[in-house]
Structures are given as structure tokens and as C-alpha cells.
Amino acid sequence: MQDPIKLVPTPDQRFHDGNPATGELGTVVSADWLNTLQSATQSTQQEMLSVIANSGQKADPTRQDQLLQAVQNIAWGGNSKPTTLAGYGIVDGASKTDLQTAVSNLVAGAPGALNTLQELAAALGNDANYAATITKQLSNKADKAVTLAGYGIGDAQTKAQSDARYFQRQARFTSNRQFTVPDGVTRIYVSGCGGGGGGGGSGASSASVMAAGGGGGAGNHVMRQDYAVRPGQILNIVIGGGGSGGLGGPGNGATGSAGIIGTNGGATAIAEIGLNLPGGTGGGPGNTNGTWGNGASPGNGGPGMAPGTTGWSGPTTNMCYPGGLGGNSPFGGGGGTGWWYWAGGVSQNGSGFGSGGGGGFAGSVDGGIAGANGAPGVIFIEW
């Protein structure tokens, strides 16, 4: 075979196109280099054709596997890989059969311990895979179960069933959205509540009395109520907002001024399944003509839900009176109220979802204090 082709005589030994616009010259290829390339190509081709011809094949330009078959013939003596020593032309090696025969003859013809081995082999039926056979039989008798059913437990949920029920098949909605019923689902379980009412504002102190605002009521709720649905059905979910706390009465003086009632919480609804959860009502305002202990009325809860508590009132003699507490919801606690001698306190918003806001506190030297906001509604859907 010819020596390697000389590299092209350029600084980086690579071909270049050149650029007429910049005056850069392209690579000049000499006749000597091209003749060397031609000679090397012919030499390599002739080497390969010799291997193909030596294997008894005639060069065929339509085939691309002739060199492979020629090499296989050289290595294997044919186109198939041999599976025996003789197939590789090895005549002085012991085959698997030869070794098995030799060992069997050794055991059969030996005294003492080796005779014992022969007897054991006969007793075990000459099973060449006896260990595997026994292991399999034992596993069939006392296989360790990996499922509840494997232990005969038929009244418990599997992990996959629990995950599907409690983690992968539920959705929570805290704003207006649509829900598309998944394929194969014909019943859903809905929990949720309407918005909580805002707490009432306290009245500004008069010359003789001051009155705190009532707490807002909690929104109506439902817990895992089931509804019939259709796969692909679209449910329009409306979430009720929390009611705003009422403002406190402005200023104070001889006549005082009443606070403002808290606004009602919004209703949470899914019209397609007939669900409507009214919000809690706002807490009553502190007035200026109450008597001792007779403060603002509380906001009512939604049907079956907790109302807020009544705000307190009394004489303006070095005293202070708390506002009503917001009504509690199954999804959050009602807001508290401030309490501070000689000064109005800050009430708390309802927490979580559906709870009422706290009523405004009444202080003897201050204007009225605003009530706190109710918590918004929520919807949970399980399927």
C-alpha cells in the first residue's frame, strides 16, 4: 500500500477558498499533489479489491457488504460466527462435553467422599440446577407479599388509591374560575363557604356614653356535599368576597356620632349544580344613645353559621369597651377586637375563609374606630 498522502502546502495545512474582494488567494493545488492523491486512492482500492477477490467474490458496485463478508471469512472461515472450538480451527482444546465427561468419570470411579457425591447426585435426580430448583420451590411456599392483597387484606385502600383520592383528585378555588369535570367523573364532593361579614365601626364618644361596633357574621358553609355531574361539564365558580369593616363615627364631643355598619360578605355559588352559600352580614355600628352593656348588635352568620358577638357600651368615665368578635367559620377563626384604656384599639380581620371581622373598639377620648374586614369565601372540589 502506498505511503500516506502529503499534506497540502499551506501554513495550517488546510484548503482555503480565497477572497477576490480582499485580494486573498485561494489554495493552489499542484499536479504532483493530485497525482499523489490519485495513486494513493488506487492503491487503497486495489488492497480492498484483493481482500474481496481472495474471499471468492467478484466486485459488485451495487453492494456495500463485500468487504465485511471477506473479513468474516478470514476470521471465522465463513459468514457465521462459530460456536465450537473446531469452528475456530482449534483441535487441542477440551470442549464443555469433554470436561463434563471427565468430571463424571472421576466422581464415578473414585472411592470415599467422591462416591458420596455420586450418591447425593443420584438422590437429587442429577438436577444440574438443584439450588435454583429448591429456591424456586421455597419462594412459592413462602413468598414475601408486597401488596395488601398478597396478605389477604381486601378492605383497605392501596397507596395509589389513597393518593388518587386525597392528593391528585381535588382542587381549591379562591377566585372566580371555571372547572371542567374530568373524564369518567359523575359525582363530585364540594366544601366551601360564603364571605364573612365586616365588623361594625364604633361610635365616637358622647358626653355620657360610648359604644363599640358588633362583630361580623360568618358565611354559610357546606362540607363534602355530593353533586351529580357529567364528564366535560363546565362549572362556573363564583367566590364571595369578605365584607368591609364599617367606619368609626367621626370626632367626639357632647353629642358624639354613630359608627357605620359593616358590609355583608358575598355569596359563593356554583349555579350549574344549584349551590349558593350566602355571606355573613355586617356587624352593627356603635351608636350614641346606648346604655351600660348595650352596644352594637352583631352581624348574623349565614344559615346555620355563627354570628358575631355584641359590642359593648357604657359611660365615658375612665373606661374602654371592646367591640364584638367576628363569627367563626369551619375554614377560619373570627377576627378579634382591640382593648386599651383611654384609647381606641385596632380590630382584626377574619382569618382563613368565611369568618367575620372584629367590631371597632370604643375608647373614652377618641373618635370611633373602624371595624375589621371579613374573610373571603372558598370552594374545594373532590372527585
The predicted pLDDT at position 280 comes to: 93
Give 345's contacts (C-beta < 8 A, 6+ positions apart).
320, 322, 337, 338, 339, 361, 363, 369
Residues 226, 121, single domain; the answer is no
Please report where in the chains the cell 370552594 appears, as a residue.
379
Q: Is the pLDDT of residue 264 over 90?
A: yes
Identify the weakest region by mean pLDDT among 6-10, 35-39, 303-307, 342-346.
Answer: 342-346
Residues 333, 217, single domain; the answer is yes
H helix count then E strand count, the chain: 6, 12
Quick: pLDDT tens for 300-340: 655 656 676 666 655 555 566 677 889 999 999 999 887 65
Residues 114, 190, single domain; the answer is no
Distance CA 225, CA 191 (A): 7
In a domain, 75, yes or no: no
Distance CA 185, CA 167 (A): 16
Q: Which residue would you say has higher pLDDT here, 264 or 311?
A: 264
| Mean pLDDT of the chain, nearest integer | 80
Domain residue limits at 111:
98-127
| β-pair partners for 19 | 24
Domain-terminating residue out of 73, 108, 127? 127
Residues 116, 232, single domain; the answer is no
In a domain, 68, yes or no: no
Domain-terminating residue out of 127, 148, 179? 127
The predicted pLDDT at position 294 comes to: 52
| pTM score, whole prediction | 0.54
C-alpha cell belonging to residue 378: 372558598
The predicted pLDDT at position 254 comes to: 47
Residues 117, 185, single domain; the answer is no
Residues 115, 263, single domain; the answer is no
Number of domains composing the chain: 2
| Contact present, 362 and 246 (Cβ < 8 Å) | no
For the segment 225-253, the average pLDDT, to the nearest whole number, is 90
Residues 220, 344, single domain; the answer is yes
Quick: pLDDT tens for 279-309: 999 988 877 655 555 555 555 655 656 676 6
DSSP letters, 219-276, are: PPEEEEEEEE--TT-EEEEEPPPPPPPPPPPP--SSS-B---PPPPPPPEEEGGGTEE
Distance CA 368, CA 290 (A): 14
Distance CA 366, CA 304 (A): 37
Q: Is the pLDDT of residue 214 over 60?
A: yes
In a domain, 160, yes or no: no
Identify the weakest region by mean pLDDT among 264-268, 316-320, 336-340, 361-365.
Answer: 316-320
Q: Which residue would you say has higher pLDDT here, 362 or 347?
A: 347
Residues 186, 293, single domain; the answer is yes
The predicted pLDDT at position 187 comes to: 96
For the segment 166-183, the average pLDDT, to the nearest whole number, is 90
In a domain, 257, yes or no: yes
Residues 271, 370, single domain; the answer is yes
Which range has highest mean pLDDT (8-12, 161-165, 240-244)? Answer: 240-244
The predicted pLDDT at position 378 comes to: 98
| Contact present, 300 and 215 (Cβ < 8 Å) | no
CA 343-348-353 angle, to 5 degrees, is: 170
Determine what percent of the chain is predicted with pLDDT higher than 90. Answer: 28
CB environment 249-271: b (16+ within 10 A), e (fewer): beebeeebbbbbbbbbbbbbbbe
Residues 200, 112, single domain; the answer is no
Q: Which residue would you say has higher pLDDT here, 16 or 81?
A: 16
Residues 283, 355, single domain; the answer is yes
Q: Is the pLDDT of residue 344 over 50?
A: no
In a domain, 1, yes or no: no
Q: Which of 195, 232, 196, 201 is nearest to 214 (CA)?
A: 201
Residues 181, 123, single domain; the answer is no
In a domain, 18, yes or no: no
Q: Is 204 exposed, middle or buried (0-12, 13-18, 19+ CB in 10 A)?
A: buried
Determine what percent of the chain is predicted with pLDDT higher than 70. Answer: 76
Q: Which residue would you say has higher pLDDT here, 58 or 203?
A: 58
CA 355-356-360 angle, to 5 degrees, is: 150
In a domain, 10, yes or no: no
In a domain, 91, yes or no: no
